[in-house]
Amino acid sequence: MDTYLVGGAIRDELLGLPPGDRDWVVVGATPQRMLDAGFRAVGRDFPVFLHPQTGEEHALARTERKSGRGHRGFVVDADPSVTLEEDLQRRDFTINAIARDAHGDLVDPYGGVDDLQARVLRHVGPAFAEDPLRVLRAGRFMARFAPLGFRVAPETMGLMRQMVASGELDTLVPERVWQELRKALAAPQPSAFLATMHACGALAAILPEVDALYGVPQRAEYHPEVDTGVHQQLVSDMAARLAPGDDLVGFAALVHDLGKALTPAHVLPKHIGHEHAGLKPLAVLCERLKVPLEHRGLAECVCREHLNVHRLAELRDATVLELLERCDAFRRPERVAGIALACEADKRGRLGSEEAAYPQGGELRRLHAAAIAVNARDLPDIGALAGQQVGVAVRKARIAAIAAARTLRAATAAPSS
């Protein structure tokens, strides 16, 4: 039997990127032979084994035959007669269909090395169309590799459009869609995912609430990019810049403006009340994709409060406390940093504002720190209070703490005479 290093490890090495997990393909072996060699079986849908020393995954070379709709509708053949070329042929993109043998020589039957050099994401063959998940993977790879100059091959984009039109994406289970979306939001350029999905029609199938933002105008004096969909792409990239690899902040930034798609035509390009209008489509999106509660909670706060955070300096002390209370910031203090970052991404995700200062983010964190430092046990005469009186006293003390923090900041910021 022969063993080959395959896939992403070779791709990333050739691109000069840090190495990730290494995957191996074994040609000419049977499951029993792998077990006899000390490997441990872990594959459910096809034969995958863990190396007894390294723990790295070794999969038997296999072919796949379409047997039904969706990304699970396949029959797998892992017969020892399956060749390396046949195994590589079932892979999604040419840049992922490169192998290296035990002597260090590359095996590249589908031109993956040339496509890496040309910075092209191209499907290996017609079998690409059999798995709708690959459309989302194309977007996710673009989110990762667009900063390196990658583009989707025209024939691949055309095939993806055909796949969307066939309705195959409707067979994807929410968990897989969410998994690909999270990875895209954690990548360096999420806008490439959105742009790729929008261009092939997939965004309307998986995230119709976001797709609806494209073509919706905004006031040019606040949004020189005008198109709300373009603004969203800028915001998502800014979130990735401010919070690299953080899909929690990335998701909150992605859905903060969903209400703008619901603005009546006669009101445009203004979007009065869009922050509250966006809560309903956000809830629908989260239910459909089974979004984790942590992501949903932060996203709701950012959707509802981003305009208030932008004008934080204009809010009264009591209003600042109410904002923090609505965001559950005293039970979930970690939310405040995420809210600040997502709101900053919104403000700086506009043409010409990429390097603008956003003091509101630091101020929100500072005022929250002042308010949360208030401890009921430290308040005078607290022992004489009961029930609701304690809560009232704590709120008054927190408002006073916010006021004091603002006074201190104003005093330190004032020029000396």
Domain holding 81: CATH number?
3.30.460.10
Q: What is the pLDDT of residue 400?
A: 94
Residue 213 pLDDT exceeds 70: yes
The CA distance from 281 to 39, in Å, is 48
Residue 298 lies in a domain: no
Residue 81 lies in a domain: yes
Residue 248 lies in a domain: no
Q: What is the pLDDT of residue 386?
A: 62
Residue 157 pLDDT exceeds 70: yes
Residue 249 lies in a domain: no
Q: What is the pLDDT of residue 80?
A: 87
Contact between 210 and 218 under an 8 Å Cβ cutoff? The reply is: no
Q: Residue 100, Cβ neighbours under 10 Å: how many? A: 17
As a whole number, the mean pLDDT across the chain is 92
Q: What is the pLDDT of residue 20?
A: 79
Domain count, the chain: 1
- Mean pLDDT computed over 274-281: 97
Residue 13 lies in a domain: yes
Please give the backbone phi and psi of residue 29, each rounded to the nearest 5 degrees, phi first.
Answer: -115, 165
Residue 37 lies in a domain: yes
Residue 366 lies in a domain: no
Better pLDDT: 239 or 54: 239
Which of 22-26, 66-70, 164-168, 281-285 has the highest average model confidence (pLDDT)? 281-285
Residue 36 lies in a domain: yes
Question: By residue range, what is the domain housing residue 82?
Answer: 1-119
Residue 417 pLDDT exceeds 50: no
- The pLDDT confidence band at residue 47, using thresholds 50, 70 and 90, is confident
> How far is the first Cα of the chain from the last one, in angstroms, to the nearest whole number?
83
- Mean pLDDT computed over 158-186: 96
Contact between 116 and 15 under an 8 Å Cβ cutoff? The reply is: yes
Contact residues for 327 (Cβ-Cβ < 8 A; gap 6+): 301, 305, 335, 336, 339
